[in-house]
Amino acid sequence: MSKVRVRFAPSPTGGLHLGGVRTVLYNYLFAKNKGGEFIVRIEDTDQTRFVPGAEQYIFDCLKWCGIEPDESPVHGGAYGPYRQSERKEQGIYKQYAEQLLQNGQAYYAFDTPEELDKMRNDFKTAENPSPQYDQHVRMKMKNSLSLTEAETKALLDAGTKNVVRIKMPEHEVVQFTDMIRGDIQNETNLVDDKVLLKADGMPTYHLAVVVDDYLMKITHAFRGEEWLPSAPVHVLLWKYLFGLDNMPQWAHLPLILGPSGKLSKRDGAKYGFPVFAMNWTDPKTNELTEGFKEKGFLPEAFINLLALLGWNAGTEQELFTKAALIELFSIDRVHSGGAKFDYEKAKWFNQEWIKKLPIKNYELIIKNEFAAKGISITDDAAFEKVLELVKDRCTLLPDFYTQAVFFFKTPEQLDIEAVKPKWNSDKAAFFSSWIEKLQTLTAWDFATIEESFKALATEKNIKPGELQLPFRIMLVGGKFGPPVFEIAATIGKEETVKRITNALSQF
């Protein structure tokens, strides 16, 4: 069997959302599992939707996810060019359209957009709210089927704007086997005469995907479920142009759903979770859509959670490295039903990966965040120790800041309400004399501090437990964080005493 080659074919029109990344991921995992190649092809056939920066953005996202293409417009390869706009320049698509034309499998259509609108309007009925350009209406339209040969020729010679449409056969059943869904059948009567070549000479997706998959020797084609209805067009094109034997095996991936229907960037804004892999700012509207990266997700967690949205290993394991995913991935364990995206679970994956990975892996990101908030870290070793201390309490990367700032900065606000109800002069006295005792301490470590604290508490006849919360508020400012004595040991004697003194004046 020939070498497995798969492709991810995004159109550079905006941000890369969850579903898109999952499609890339499944492509990639499948290819790598089979020792095959992963290609990225840019489907920029719609010039009206061109968005500057979108292509670069896609590659940035892939890089962040750790998914490197074997071939692409930026990585090169033997089957280029990898942008359809460039392929069109070479006349690649036109020749195939002409072949179809010659064989009577396609025809010229001269209808203007206005005429198409009119048709849709005229034929619209309650039973048929959206009439298609198909066998029922095509003879009533202006095309090389309804016109005489001479009329067509005249129109063509005059340079009249035209498109090439596929002529869907009547009463045929188009069948193919989907790797995920099995046997799929469609009646040709029900599908319309899709445009293959647009008036500007660009191919539509339908022609381009077939031609390019053939030319690039694609063996397995993954795409979203939304393509299922037009699959018969592609199958027919394969039959006409290159033979069904050469057709890649199709896999139509289930949709990723949001809280209400297909996941959209609107959902993200509405419910407060990211939908794109990385931050994306629309150059036209300047509208920012949040990304998982900037939200504080680890790429390891991101691909892990995406992989599990529609696939599972069939075991209880849920945490997988990229290498493990490559090893275990198999298409027959991919679900056919859509999955609703659950942000809570996504966060859990991230938390697990934060615990799992060495601090070194993401230390720099956190350090930058501290710097951005005005705290420059000079002692890396000490910083790492602090991060280690708080990592169990963090689900997203920015949590490290809130969980660890107080190690580097005296808290500005103390949660006084937490101590007030049980605060009294005895306790105040305890801390006053403890400060004095602390000054005499020669060692400064966890055990020594705790010992001193408990000894004095016993002496003063106060339960140590009743003093711990106030002490925590003094050092941290709130009811959270690692063990108090650990904190005191880390921030040092001088700072500890300073914070107690400062708090005492506020309680």
CB of 51: closest distance to RNA in angstroms? 12
Distance in angstroms (rounded) separating the CA atoms of residues 309 and 23 = 11
Burial 395-426 (b: 16+ CB within 10 A, else e): bbbbbbbebbbbbbeebeebbeebbeeeeeee
**Nearest to RNA of 20, 379 (CB atom):** 20
Burial 94-110 (b: 16+ CB within 10 A, else e): eebbeebbeeebbbbbb
172, 199, 257, 470 from 309: Cα distances, Å: 36, 40, 10, 45
Residues 6+ apart with CB under 8 A from 152: 108, 144
Please identify, among the stretches 236-244, 256-264, 268-276, 380-388, the one whose residues bind RNA according to the rule CB under 7 A.
Answer: 256-264
CB of 193: closest distance to RNA in angstroms? 9
Q: Is 225 in the site for RNA (CB under 7 A)?
A: yes
Per the CB < 8 A criterion, the answer to whether 212 and 87 are in contact is yes
**Nearest to RNA of 271, 480 (CB atom):** 480
For the segment 61-100, give every residue that binds RNA (CB under 7 A). none
Q: Is 43 in the site for RNA (CB under 7 A)?
A: yes
CB of 49: closest distance to RNA in angstroms? 5
CB of 250: closest distance to RNA in angstroms? 12
Residue where the block lists tokens 């006849």: 461
Distance in angstroms (rounded) separating the CA atoms of residues 327 and 315 = 14
* Number of shown-chain residues binding RNA (CB under 7 A): 87
CB of 165: closest distance to RNA in angstroms? 8
- Interface residue with RNA among 118, 140, 270, 335 (CB under 7 A) is 335
CB of 128: closest distance to RNA in angstroms? 5
Please identify, among the stretches 69-77, 146-154, 334-342, 356-364, the one whose residues bind RNA according to the rule CB under 7 A.
Answer: 334-342
User: Any catalytic annotation for residue 270?
Assistant: no
Distance in angstroms (rounded) separating the CA atoms of residues 164 and 442 = 89
**Nearest to RNA of 48, 378 (CB atom):** 48
In the sheet where 163-166 sits, what is the strand order? 106-109, 163-166, 195-197
CB of 459: closest distance to RNA in angstroms? 15
For the segment 455-474, give every residue that binds RNA (CB under 7 A). 463-466, 468-469, 472
Please tell me whether residue 491 adopts helix, strand or coil conformation.
Answer: helix
Q: How many CB atoms lie within 10 A of CB 192?
A: 18
- Interface residue with RNA among 63, 118, 270, 340 (CB under 7 A) is 340
Q: Is 51 in the site for RNA (CB under 7 A)?
A: no
Please tell me whether residue 475 adopts helix, strand or coil conformation.
Answer: helix
Segment (H or E) for 261: strand 261-262
- Interface residue with RNA among 291, 296, 338, 477 (CB under 7 A) is 338
Q: Is 481 in the site for RNA (CB under 7 A)?
A: yes
Give Cα 349 to chain centroid, integer Å.
14
**Nearest to RNA of 317, 368 (CB atom):** 317
For the segment 394-433, give every residue that binds RNA (CB under 7 A). none
Per the CB < 8 A criterion, the answer to whether 207 and 241 are in contact is no
Q: Is 287 in the site for RNA (CB under 7 A)?
A: no
**Nearest to RNA of 50, 443 (CB atom):** 50
Q: Is 161 in the site for RNA (CB under 7 A)?
A: yes
Nearest Cα to Cα of residue 34 among 326, 321, 334: 326
- Interface residue with RNA among 37, 55, 71, 111 (CB under 7 A) is 111
Q: Is 199 in the site for RNA (CB under 7 A)?
A: yes
- Interface residue with RNA among 4, 7, 8, 11 (CB under 7 A) is 11
Point out the catalytic residue in the list 265, 347, 367, 427.
265
Q: Is 267 in the site for RNA (CB under 7 A)?
A: no
Per the CB < 8 A criterion, the answer to whether 300 and 32 are in contact is no
Q: Which residues are catalytic?
A: 265
